[in-house]
Amino acid sequence: MNNFVSMKTMQTEEILHLIKQTDRFANDGLSKTETDKKRFVTNLFYEPSTRTKLSFEVAEKKLGFEVIDFQVDYSSVLKGESVYDTAKTVASIGAEAVVIRHPLDNTVQELAEQLDIPVINAGDGAGEHPTQCLLDIYTMYKEFGDLKGLNILIVGDIVHSRVARSNAYALRTLGANVSFASKPEWQDQRLDFPYVELDDAIETSDVVMLLRIQSERHDQPKPIEDNNYLEKYGLTIEREKRMKKTAIIMHPAPVNRGVEIDDSLVECKRSRIFKQMEYGVYARMAVLDHLLNKEEPQYGDNYQTVLAHVD
Ligand code: NCD
């Protein structure tokens, strides 16, 4: 593995290795040799981000990397510099890896083929969001111990969601049953997963993963407040009451409270939304460490994998 741009072709062993590493960083922190030299990485965000950008930054700093600051609005992007030339520039300056978010599908994959340092996909258009997927999977392992046979319901703007795509691919690889619930016009027929009625599936799902309406990728965005979306397609209090006792609520955030989920459910007992953010740091540490630190990981005394019982 030289890049981290898609979950589609990722094998079970690779996913599980990264999940174990996530757990190692969650439990043990770092060994001393991992923190010694000054090394650089950069985060090229061509789209807004709060969680992903900050969490990559924290993960990079915890691993001992210096983060080369880059802000599109104050860069030569405004003078017409291409993504490739920008990335090649930061590589020449000394970045050992490029973390990149870009509004166009496949820009990240193309860059990964052109650059000779690792490229990490922090979200490409409606394409993929593999590190979000990794932290989501880790959240589920922490909750359930194993994903085989779990019913995962992904609800909302499927066709415009890179989170839905990466999760669907990886969860299927790991043996979970993935289904989607969505407005008809937001279904993605290129994805081979069943569409179900939210009101039926809510009672049998172990994980209900909600998605924000991705208005920035709509041809004709409508105001989200106007349309009774919550009652028709969102997680209302009434639907939450019908969820399985052990089921959890997830959401990659940002959340539009009162649109895809009732405001009061965002921090309810079943919600793992802020836990996901916490785990995002460890998942990103796992990816960066895997790509940039080639030594075998040293597991400390506190290391307890959430996967101890998984083959
Ligand atoms: C997601 C994204 O950017 O794709 N957010 C995130 O990275 N946590 C989902 C979204 O913006 O709705």
Compute, in angstroms, the gap from residue 90 CA to the centroid of ligand 1. 25
Assess whether pLDDT exceeds 60 at residue 226: no
Question: By percentage, how much of the chain surpasses pLDDT 70?
Answer: 94
**Ligand 1 neighbour 297 (Cβ under 6 A):** no
Averaged pLDDT of the chain: 93
**Ligand 1 neighbour 88 (Cβ under 6 A):** no
Q: How far apart are CA 73 and CA 93, in angstroms?
A: 20
Q: Quick one: average pLDDT of 240-269?
A: 97
Q: pLDDT, tens digit, for every residue of 49-86?
A: 999 999 999 999 999 999 998 999 989 999 999 999 99
Assess whether pLDDT exceeds 80 at residue 303: no
- Quote the distance between the C-alpha of residue 161 and its chain's center: 11
Confirm or reject CATH 3.80.30.20 for domain 130-273, answering yes or no: no
**Ligand 1 neighbour 132 (Cβ under 6 A):** yes
Assess whether pLDDT exceeds 80 at residue 227: no
The CATH code of the domain at 12-129+276-303 is 3.40.50.1370
Q: pLDDT, tens digit, for every residue of 89-145?
A: 999 999 999 999 999 999 999 999 999 999 999 999 999 999 999 999 999 999 999
Q: pLDDT, tens digit, for every residue of 255-287?
A: 999 999 999 999 999 999 999 999 999 999 999
Identify the band that residue 184 occupies on the pLDDT scale cut at 50, 70 and 90. Answer: very high
Identify the band that residue 225 occupies on the pLDDT scale cut at 50, 70 and 90. Answer: low
Compute, in angstroms, the gap from residue 103 CA to the centroid of ligand 1. 12
Run of H or E including 98: strand 95-102
Q: Quick one: average pLDDT of 193-209?
A: 98
User: What are the tokens at 48?
Assistant: 């807004």
Higher per-residue pLDDT: 238 or 309: 238
* Ligand 1 atom index nearest CA of 252: 8
Is the fold of 12-129+276-303 the same as that of 130-273?
yes
Mutate which of 105, 129, 162, 255 for ligand 1? The one with the most ligand atoms within 8 Å of its CB, which is 129
Identify the band that residue 291 occupies on the pLDDT scale cut at 50, 70 and 90. Answer: very high
Mutate which of 50, 56, 132 for ligand 1? The one with the most ligand atoms within 8 Å of its CB, which is 132
User: What are the tokens at 11?
Assistant: 């094998």
Residue given tokens 């939450």 in the structure block: 240
Amino acid symbol at 55: S
Compute, in angstroms, the gap from residue 253 CA to the centroid of ligand 1. 6
The sign one gets for the Cα dihedral 153, 157, 163, 164 is positive
Residue given tokens 């940002």 in the structure block: 254
Compute, in angstroms, the gap from residue 181 CA to the centroid of ligand 1. 18
**Ligand 1 neighbour 167 (Cβ under 6 A):** no
* Predicted local confidence at residue 221, as pLDDT: 80
Compute, in angstroms, the gap from residue 132 CA to the centroid of ligand 1. 8
Any idea where the domains of the chain sit in the sequence? 12-129+276-303, 130-273
Run of H or E including 177: strand 177-181
Amino acid symbol at 20: K
Identify the band that residue 220 occupies on the pLDDT scale cut at 50, 70 and 90. Answer: confident
* Predicted local confidence at residue 309, as pLDDT: 64
Q: Quick one: average pLDDT of 218-236?
A: 84
For the chain, first and last CA: distance in Å? 21
Nearest Cα to 169, choosing from 19, 10, 284, 2? Answer: 10
**Ligand 1 neighbour 162 (Cβ under 6 A):** yes
- The answer to whether 216 and 128 are in contact (CB under 8 A) is no
Assess whether pLDDT exceeds 60 at residue 177: yes
